[in-house]
Structure 1
């Protein structure tokens, strides 16, 4: 189990999909940065009086990235079970591992790499922002609301670390949800967009039904969501993904392995 986990993790970390997801995440950050700073008369010195690197990071994180992040999280490895199934590689794996161990490894590798992509890209972008704007605890930015906003007032850098952690967890959840749906969809492309479809539905239909706290975008932006509801929603979606994948692989597609 250990050797398969290590080889699978290494294979995914250096895969083309992981690189594309990493680059795409960084590009979306900088598109948000360009839109935020692209105004007449912009100069770094004047801008730094209002925003520091953490403030800018908070703003651009909620821009284009927040729209597409579930898709990026899912494109890395969520279709891997179907790929194993289509190529017949799954039968070979089952000669070395039990199905339950295979399920556990798939969930872990999918979660770890998807989470690392958003964490690494976010830290990379922040370092660049820090070199430009630095950190100013007396900046005039006052638009942080929602979950953990009090921590921002007390210690901005701790708040930044919380955002990295929240981003990591978000990617883990949506990558796992897509992985969990894959045995039922039986289509790699539908699998990749499946959790994104839920993301869109939750931000439109759920809101129209006044189910505001079920808007999955809040799991990333942290707007208007209590810490308790955040944790409950995170756990619920993650467990749904895990349970779907467990029963989908163990029972639904048993005849295919």
Structure 2
């Protein structure tokens, strides 16, 4: 079954649509930074940071949850409504179906977010100067690595992007147990992501607790946008989202709600 689900993800149009949209979104951000060769001080790593989250036209970090859910988060709803689920369960058991679905969906969501980040990274380091380190103004999670090696810093954040995509894809799949509308399953995580960002920012301002701003969801994907972000704020937010979503999906399956 695992092989069948993998084939469904990587032969489906939704995965490639998500990657394409992610690439387009990242390049919109790069354009705001400046074209290669336009100015002498344009640096590869900063071009990549604009691709992900910096600047007024940076939309990648805003729509990243949608990219993560597009490939496969609605697959349970599709299986249920088309009758494919009944066919699968004639050949495998419920436990294998649930854990395969979780794993393949997380893989598709992780790649849908991290691949555009990696592709824009390659573009930035090919066409912009890459011999200049980040200046001392870089703060936030993993900033020490960024000052030492901008390339390793960008690679690490691309890996974080993979985990981010896994988390939000799993959240979307968990929602599909309760919501059997594929469009809501795909889009609702984005709306919750935006609302959570707004609420966390308001709470940080009202309570005057600066560290709360590090828990705004976009700062998990792009910690360089929040100076007080730490490695533990990044991984704890992703970890909690992934863990709760996985447990909820598995728990509902044990209750017999999934199939």
- The two structures have a TM-score, normalised by structure 1, of 0.88
After superposition, the Cα gap between the structure-2 partners of 1:252 and 1:53, relative to the gap in structure 1 and judged at 3 Å, is: same
Secondary structure class of the residue paired with 1:25: helix
Report if aligned partners of 1:183, 1:252 keep a CA contact under 8 Å in 2: no
Per the TM alignment, residue 136 of structure 1 is displaced from its structure 2 partner at its CA by 1.3
Partner in structure 1 of residue 33 of structure 2: 36
Q: Distance in 2 between matches of 1:172 and 1:46?
A: 37
Report if aligned partners of 2:73, 2:105 keep a CA contact under 8 Å in 1: yes
Report if aligned partners of 2:42, 2:129 keep a CA contact under 8 Å in 1: no
What is the RMSD computed on CA atoms of the aligned residues? 1.9
Q: Distance in 2 between matches of 1:237 and 1:226?
A: 17
After superposition, the Cα gap between the structure-2 partners of 1:209 and 1:83, relative to the gap in structure 1 and judged at 3 Å, is: same
Cα deviation code 1:38-68 (max 9, x no counterpart): xxxx771633xx3322221012210110111
User: How many pairs are equivalent?
Assistant: 245
Q: Which runs of 4+ in 1 moved over 6 A?
A: none
Does 1:120 pair with 2:122? no
Kindly indicate whether structure 1 or structure 2 has the higher relative contact order, using CA contacts under 8 Å at least 6 residues apart. 1
2:168 to 170, 174, 189: 174
Cα deviation code 1:113-132 (max 9, x no counterpart): 22122222222222222221
After superposition, the Cα gap between the structure-2 partners of 1:234 and 1:44, relative to the gap in structure 1 and judged at 3 Å, is: same
Secondary structure class of the residue paired with 1:209: helix
Does 1:67 pair with 2:62? yes
Larger displacement relative to structure 2 (169-178 or 93-102): 93-102
Q: Distance in 2 between matches of 1:214 and 1:160?
A: 20
- Once the two structures are superposed, the pairs formed by residues 94-243 of structure 1 within 5 Å of their partners are 94-138=89-133, 143-210=137-204, 211-222=212-223, 223=226, 224-243=228-247
Secondary structure class of the residue paired with 2:159: helix
> Which blocks of at least 5 consecutive residues in structure 2 are unaligned?
205-211
Cα deviation code 1:120-151 (max 9, x no counterpart): 22222222222211411356x55532100011
Q: Distance in 1 between matches of 2:45 and 2:248?
A: 37
- The two structures have a TM-score, normalised by structure 2, of 0.88
Larger displacement relative to structure 2 (222-231 or 173-182): 222-231
Q: Distance in 2 between matches of 1:57 and 1:43?
A: 12
Partner in structure 2 of residue 46 of structure 1: 39
Per the TM alignment, residue 217 of structure 1 is displaced from its structure 2 partner at its CA by 1.5
Report if aligned partners of 1:184, 1:248 keep a CA contact under 8 Å in 2: no
Q: Distance in 2 between matches of 1:205 and 1:130?
A: 36
After superposition, the Cα gap between the structure-2 partners of 1:46 and 1:207, relative to the gap in structure 1 and judged at 3 Å, is: closer
After superposition, the Cα gap between the structure-2 partners of 1:136 and 1:186, relative to the gap in structure 1 and judged at 3 Å, is: same
Partner in structure 1 of residue 16 of structure 2: 19
